[in-house]
Chain A
Amino acid sequence: MENLEKVIIVRYAEIHLKGKNRGYFERVFTVNLEKALKGLRHELRRTSGRYLVAAFDERDADEICARISRVFGVHSYSVGYRVPNDLEHLFTAAKVICPQDGTFKVDTHRADKKYPLTSPELNAEIGARLLAEYPGLKVDIRSPQSTVCLDIREDGSALVFGSFEEGVGGMPVGTSSKGLLLISGGIDSPVAGYMMAKRGMDVNFLHFHSYPYTNEQAKDKVVELARILSRYTGGEEVSTVKVTHIQEEIHKKCAAELNVTLLRRFMFRIAERVAQMRGAKCLITGESLGQVASQTIEGITSSNAVVTLPVLRPLIGFDKEEIIVRAKKIGTFETSVLPYEDCCTVFLPEFPAIKPKLPYIEEEEKKLDIEALVQEAIGTLERIPLR
């Protein structure tokens, strides 16, 4: 059909709330959209208050929608047509959008207030033509099965589309600085990373392993999780650090009940240094209060005591079930539950200390050469690209 241009209309969410920063937020959002659509032929146009994706191969439409649905900052999107705003073209596009039977209504939005017909008049006109065209249709203003939306723009064009698809909301990734996610391979940490990215944070990934006590499949699994997550968060690599020797030293020299507590302090120290190397301004963990022995307020106190960067724990008040629901929605759950352990049980004490006291921890830690162990671990830093 001539002059019937297929487009995907993308509307954004909180960006317009941001006053003077709006230009900055929009620029980041544009870059993120372009990044998401990389590799698919398209044109991205910014119009007032929304974006249009056009000039794409119609066979890619579903893939483009899937990718847009994962970009933070997208409030909603619709597949439709951009046409000249005369009645003939509006009707032609409406015919394609509208199903041939069932109940429907036409809903017009007029940005161009000089358009000769008012919104109710346009609703009535296009509605009447559709009824004449498709005898199976019936009007239902209150709860129609389908809606034909007409959006009369100020530049002589109009957008005609059916439904509004919900976007993921949130803020464009990159507008809230950078954080380093401690990603383990379990269910929680990917969800924590997702939640911070949703608030606009650029999330980088750091994984600790204890090869040969843990296996390479466990590392592969973390890379796969990061890859799934990066469809939302945009990260490009996973940093890995080997903590085997640290675990062996703790196991050999310190009280068994503190194994986990001490290891976590080392992880935080190392993470802070990696964060500095990567330009990250905070650490992110998937901890949820009371979930395991180390995730008590005493455990958190002991970990926080060794770092100065803020540690964000977006899941702190979540139940496991709530986290699982989110992990399933994000698409990381199935990979998370693959049976590879992230930390071998060889070093797990039978009875970990649930409320370790800081002075006791520090006393035990004196048995170790902390700086040398941290340096040695940093020396094992590897960067695994996600693509």
Chain B
Amino acid sequence: MIYLDNAATTRPSDGALARAQHFLTECYYNPSALYGGGAEAGRLLTEARSFLVSRIADPAQFSLVFTSCGTEADNQAIFSAARRGNAVTTQGEHAAVYESFKELKNRGVEPRFAPVRADGSVDADALIEMVDAETSLVSVIHVSNETGAINDIAQIARRVKQKNPRAVFMSDGVQAFGKIDVRLTKEIDLYTVSAHKIGGLKGTGALLRRKSYTAISPYLHGGGQENGLRSGTENVFGIACFYYAAQEKFSSMAEDGVRLAQAKERLWELLDKKIYSRISPQDGSPCILTVSAAGRRGETLQRMLWDMGIAVGTGSACNSKKPHSRVLQACGLDQRMLDGVLRVSFSPSNTAEDAKAAALAMNEAARAFGGN
């Protein structure tokens, strides 16, 4: 199986699993326990925390709260920060942010959604236009999970703070962390990440928080773990996997980025342009290429490809009860384009040969579609 649905989830890293095994079978102690074993587990958490922060931010400025997933981190950030006035985000957000913003309405905060461009990136001018003196939170996805478009969050954050210094700025970094170079600048307050998109396990995420931003509140109350911000015994094994997988990804991120961008473009080159049109931007994430075989159904192509040994994602569903991708609709795609969306997403374990095989199979499947 050639796995090219890495934006959905990645295969857990063998190396990370092997190293983390120790914390599953031997050092299984509660990190809050006051004997030696507990201390060892606790040290792992400290080490992991400081490594993960240091890769993308100044550890003197940022701390990190481990959560159970990216969605939890997004929710905690949003409902802590958006408590009054209005909150501004984009139409290109992942559901974890988008649906939480819709929920804000029920809590007396007005959500505002800035439009996106055809490639899925936010129209920054329109977003800034929506920010006013009453804005308590601005959230902009770093890398679009649907198209791979990269938003310049440092610049957007700067413009937000120029207009309203009191507004909190957060970004969902789930598709950026460990995949592209990320630097949290002084205008960014909150950033969310997830382990299973970079070779870690499902069930582990994190919220990075500017230390000077203290208004964050816990969802789960209890034993006071994670500085009182996220009670519940820590997922030591999951966090160890996250840590070790991140070490692997960051150690070769620059080279991988160049190589995967080439593989991605090679795939695009080989696709039959009479069938496929490109949705992803040229300067997007090296890991995501979204295309559409207009008039065909992405979900059906996806299963045909699966039977040919290739796993890819889709932006739509062959189903009248489930609407098309909300984000791609916001990008302005018409019905026929929305039907045929396929998302090919890479991880460093993919090769140029994978890309070639996928392109040929995608052409073949689309030609066989409908018995044509």
Which residues of chain A have a CB within 8 Å of any CB of chain B? 211-215, 245, 247-249, 251-252, 339-341, 344-347
Contact = CB atoms under 8 A, between A and B. Distances in A.
Contacts of A252: 370-372
Given A251-B370, A252-B371, A346 B320 contact: no
Contacts of B318: 213-215, 341, 344-346
Given A212-B304, A251-B370, 16 more contacts: A211-B303, A212-B300, A213-B297, A213-B318, A214-B318, A215-B299, A245-B371, A248-B370, A248-B371, A249-B371, A251-B371, A252-B372, A339-B322, A341-B319, A341-B320, A346-B370
Contacts of B372: 252
B371 A344 contact: no
6 contacts: A214-B318, A248-B371, A252-B371, A339-B321, A344-B300, A346-B318
Given A245-B371, A248-B370, A252-B371, A339 B319 contact: yes
Given A213-B297, A252-B371, A345 B303 contact: no
Nearest to B305: A212
B307 interface: yes
Interface in B300-338: 300, 303-304, 306-307, 318-322
Contacts of B370: 248, 251-252, 346-347
Chain B's interface size range is: 10 to 19
Contacts of A245: 371
B371 A346 contact: no
B33 to A, nearest CB: 40
Contacts of B320: 341, 345
Nearest to B306: A212
Nearest to A212: B303
B175 to A, nearest CB: 25
Contacts, number: 40
Contacts of A247: 371
Nearest to A245: B371
A351 B319 CA distance: 19
Contacts of A347: 370
A346 B322 contact: no
Nearest to A337: B321
A82 to B, nearest CB: 53
Nearest to A248: B371
Nearest to B303: A212
Interface string B184-197: 00000000000000
Interface in B348-370: 370
Interface string B86-123: 00000000000000000000000000000000000000
Contacts of A345: 318, 320
Contacts of B303: 211-212, 215
A246 to B, nearest CB: 10
Top 10 A-B residue pairs of the complex, sorted by shortest distance between their CB atoms: A248-B371, A212-B303, A339-B321, A212-B304, A213-B300, A252-B371, A212-B300, A344-B318, A341-B319, A339-B322
Nearest to A344: B318
A344 B304 CA distance: 14
A18 B299 CA distance: 54
Contacts of B319: 339-341
A341 B299 CA distance: 12
A320 B318 CA distance: 25
Contacts of A340: 319
Interface string B267-309: 0000000000000000000000000000001011001101100
B193 to A, nearest CB: 30
B321 A346 contact: no
A339 B317 CA distance: 11
Contact of A344 (B297, B306, B321): B297
Contacts of B300: 212-213, 344, 346
Contacts of B306: 212
A317 B335 CA distance: 38
Contacts of B299: 215
A110 B319 CA distance: 62
Contacts of A251: 370-371
A245 B321 CA distance: 25
A341 B370 CA distance: 17
B28 to A, nearest CB: 36
A213 B307 CA distance: 12
Contacts of A344: 297, 300, 318
Given A339-B319, A346-B300, A212 B371 contact: no
A250 to B, nearest CB: 9
A211 B318 CA distance: 12
B332 to A, nearest CB: 23
A343 to B, nearest CB: 11
B368 to A, nearest CB: 9
Interface centre among B297, B370, B371 (most CB of A within 10 A): B371
A339 B307 CA distance: 23
A213 B302 CA distance: 10
A338 B299 CA distance: 17
Nearest to B371: A248
Contacts of A249: 371
Contacts of B371: 245, 247-249, 251-252
A340 to B, nearest CB: 7
Contacts of B307: 212
Contacts of A346: 297, 300, 318, 370
A214 B319 CA distance: 9
A221 to B, nearest CB: 12
Interface centre among A251, A344, A347 (most CB of B within 10 A): A344
A232 B297 CA distance: 38
A279 B74 CA distance: 58
Nearest to A253: B371
Nearest to A213: B300
B92 to A, nearest CB: 25
